[in-house]
Amino acid sequence: MNIRRLQQTGGKDGSSFLIILPKEWVVRQSLKKGDPVVVSEREDG
């Protein structure tokens, strides 16, 4: 399991958040800029 830190962006109001993924993982998944990535919510967080 990898832990990622949530980063906030969007100027003064901080209206958006980012999750940064390791490049090696993105390459292994054959992802490219603009591809959708699903984030699943679990009861344990």
Segment 1-45, tens digit of pLDDT: 778 889 998 877 878 999 999 999 999 999 999 999 998 888 886
What is the DSSP secondary-structure string of the chain?
-----EEEESGGGT-EEEE---HHHHHHTT--TT--------TT-
Q: Is residue 15 a contact partner of residue 2, using CB atoms and an 8 Å limit?
A: no
**Which residues are bridge partners to 6 per DSSP?**
19
At 29 the pLDDT is: 96
Domain ranges in the chain are 1-30
- The sign one gets for the Cα dihedral 17, 19, 33, 9 is positive
> What pTM was estimated for this model as a whole?
0.65
